[in-house]
Amino acid sequence: MTYDLLDTFKKYFQDDKVILDTYELSDGYYYVVNENGDLEKLKVLKNEADNYELEKYIKIRDFYSKYISSNKALDTNYTEKSDGKKYSMMKKICSNNIYTLFFKNKSVLGLCNKDATKDAVPVEVFKKGIDKYYDSLMCLGKNKKEENLVKERYTEEEIKENKEKMIKAFDAVYEDLEKENMPKETWKKIFLAKGVNEYKRVADIYIRLKLFNTNDNNIKIGEKIYGANNYNYGLNNKKPYLELKSTPYKVGSFVDDTNIDILNKMYIWLYNNATGKNFIKLPLDWNFHGVPKDDEDIQDKDTYIIKVAGNNGSARIDDYRYTTNYNTKIRKFMCKNYLNKELPIVFETENIYRLNWYTNNVWFTENEKSTRNYIMDSYYDYDLKISKSMLANWKKDLLKQYNNLFLELFEEENERNFVKKLDEIGANIVGNMLIDSLRQKKTYKANPIKAFNLWIAYKEYFKKEGEDEEMKISNLQEQCEKIVKNKEKIETDAEYYFLVGQAAYYLLSRSKADKLMQDVTEPLIKANTIKKLKDELEFLHEKYSYDVFLKYPEFNNIFSQLMLEEPEEKIRDNKKIILAGLLADNLFYGGKEEKIEIGGNEDE
């Protein structure tokens, strides 16, 4: 992966322009300290700055002044006890050079008055941490393990002069912001006024020493230094090449000191442009002027598909795939209303992502205008985006169990595992959706029917030669209609199970309750043995017999057969047929009786 990305895109990252084109300042307060000690102030809120010219001046300096990640922060670990409490400066300063001081207001008592945190330290303790910060800058490159990487070091004069300026600036900033009562995550960044080239020079002192995962095992070969890649796996003396369990990559890589710098820039770009997104798709000819906005930018191109997450302030690649001739076009997918052949096609597409959205909206949001794609969110961000969502628990469980199958189907052009589990997924979704629907006051079956239609549409789309799900359902409905009207005998297991659904829904519809309780609906729909199924039918018959026409011969004929017959095929192989019977127009309504919806009233 590392060398694939480097070989393909390194030409775009030889300098910093690509990163700076899309670089954004974080929300916070920015101060530039001029040579005479005066402050210029910039406020950034929701990516909007209140001074455009000052923003341009600061942005490039901010880029060169950030630490690589929290694990690469300079040592500021000054501790002090006061009034029985221990204060620590560990990782509270997040900049990398003598001209900047980056911190969040939650770190300093008095800057977080309304939302004080246990980690905040008094002002005087923080200033001692600034001393420690400059001591650490002075020590950069003095470690023997770093000597091969060092190009230059700070002088004592540089450290002393700029430390004094920074402490004075910190006092002024503190006085300016002390009464602001800002949120605890607000950034405070102080910049001493220097040219861009000077900022690049001092940044390089830190960056060269921190780019590798660790410098303990660096190797010098000729004029190049080789070290462990800093991304997607760990390396330490006790556990070398420690695998990160959160990623699929098992083997690390050594990179030379030139390429590691380019790789770092690439990961900065990914962090700024790809974290928080489900996927980023980069064609081989992409120029990195932003992210491809739609699939037309990458259609029919060889493309990297990458999932990027944030990891301690830097990017981490959680999934990485390369596909040739990337294409969202699929053969036509068509969804019909299979339970009512008089109704037209309800959905059709030749685009895999339209199919993804339709599946999400029908099976999970039950809202065709939803802007939230739970299927995509479940691929890698289940704990963050799904487990705490407002989805029903059964939907969360289903996404957790089958998210890999959806990923393979929609992103990898691999339907094999999805097809194997399709009936299991469909029965789970339609059954639970029907239970939810039946339990609601005056709720009709529109959403379960849509879910059922999509299930059958997938079966039609992936059917083997000679199979025809649409025809099976149509023929079954017609045959069962004849059996009911003519009081004929049930001949096949499919007829038996379809009429089980018809009889069950008819009995349930006799309830005068505002809504049906779960203990009435769920046992029947989730029954997994013939005995259990018959017991539940008999229970419903006894419960609502007061409202069933006992002399209604069509219903009595079917019900008696259902109680007496023993189908050979198991329920689990006929869940689709039972659910079709529950959802289809009921054959027991009509001339003898008026149709009454569940939870309805005969007088309505």
What pLDDT, on the 0 to 100 scale, is given for residue 299? 84
What pLDDT, on the 0 to 100 scale, is given for residue 159? 95
Select from 440, 466, 492 the last residue of a domain: 466
Please write the tens of the pLDDT for every residue from 232-244. 555 555 555 555 5
Count other Cβ atoms within 10 Å, centred on residue 285: 10
Do 66 and 49 sit in the same domain of this protein?
Answer: yes
Please write the tens of the pLDDT for every residue from 491-550. 999 999 999 999 988 888 776 665 565 566 788 888 889 999 999 889 888 876 656 555
Mean pLDDT of all residues in 304-318: 82
Do 275 and 311 sit in the same domain of this protein?
Answer: yes
pLDDT confidence band for 252 (50 / 70 / 90) = low
Query: Does residue 601 carry a pLDDT above 50?
Result: no
Mean per-residue pLDDT of the chain: 85
Do 182 and 124 sit in the same domain of this protein?
Answer: yes
**Residue from 403, 501, 521 nearest 452 by CA:** 501
In-domain check, residue 7: no
In-domain check, residue 15: no
Kindly give, in sequence order, each residue whose CB lies less than 8 Å from that of residue 559, ignoring residues fewer than 6 positions away.
Answer: 503, 537, 541
C-alpha dist (Å) from residue 51 to 25, 56, 93, 327, 386: 12, 9, 25, 43, 39
In-domain check, residue 18: no
What pLDDT, on the 0 to 100 scale, is given for residue 31? 97
39 contacts 173 by C-beta, under 8 angstroms: yes
Domain that holds residue 154: 23-210
Select from 466, 490, 524 the last residue of a domain: 466
What pLDDT, on the 0 to 100 scale, is given for residue 340? 81
Do 493 and 398 sit in the same domain of this protein?
Answer: no
The structure's pTM equals 0.74
Q: Which of 195-209, 252-266, 347-361, 432-446 has the lowest mean pLDDT?
A: 432-446
CA pseudo-torsion sign 428, 433, 438, 444: negative
Do 551 and 532 sit in the same domain of this protein?
Answer: yes
Do 130 and 232 sit in the same domain of this protein?
Answer: no
In-domain check, residue 315: yes
What pLDDT, on the 0 to 100 scale, is given for residue 326? 83
Q: Domain total for the chain?
A: 4
Query: Does residue 128 carry a pLDDT above 80?
Result: yes
Which residue type, as a one-letter code, is found at position 250? Answer: K
Please write the tens of the pLDDT for every residue from 332-342. 999 999 988 66
Do 82 and 138 sit in the same domain of this protein?
Answer: yes
What pLDDT, on the 0 to 100 scale, is given for residue 234? 54
Do 514 and 373 sit in the same domain of this protein?
Answer: no
Please write the tens of the pLDDT for every residue from 14-62. 888 888 888 889 999 999 999 998 999 999 998 899 999 999 999 999 9
In-domain check, residue 29: yes
> Which contiguous run of DSSP H or E holds residue 40?
strand 39-45
In-domain check, residue 517: yes
Select from 416, 445, 466 the last residue of a domain: 466
Do 131 and 193 sit in the same domain of this protein?
Answer: yes
In-domain check, residue 58: yes
Mean pLDDT of all residues in 342-355: 88
Which residue type, as a one-letter code, is found at position 63? Answer: F
Do 337 and 438 sit in the same domain of this protein?
Answer: yes
What pLDDT, on the 0 to 100 scale, is given for residue 50? 92
C-alpha dist (Å) from residue 324 to 130, 132, 302, 304: 52, 52, 4, 9
**Residue from 226, 174, 252, 256 nearest 10 by CA:** 256
pLDDT confidence band for 204 (50 / 70 / 90) = very high
Mean pLDDT of all residues in 336-359: 88
Do 539 and 558 sit in the same domain of this protein?
Answer: yes
Do 565 and 587 sit in the same domain of this protein?
Answer: yes
In-domain check, residue 6: no
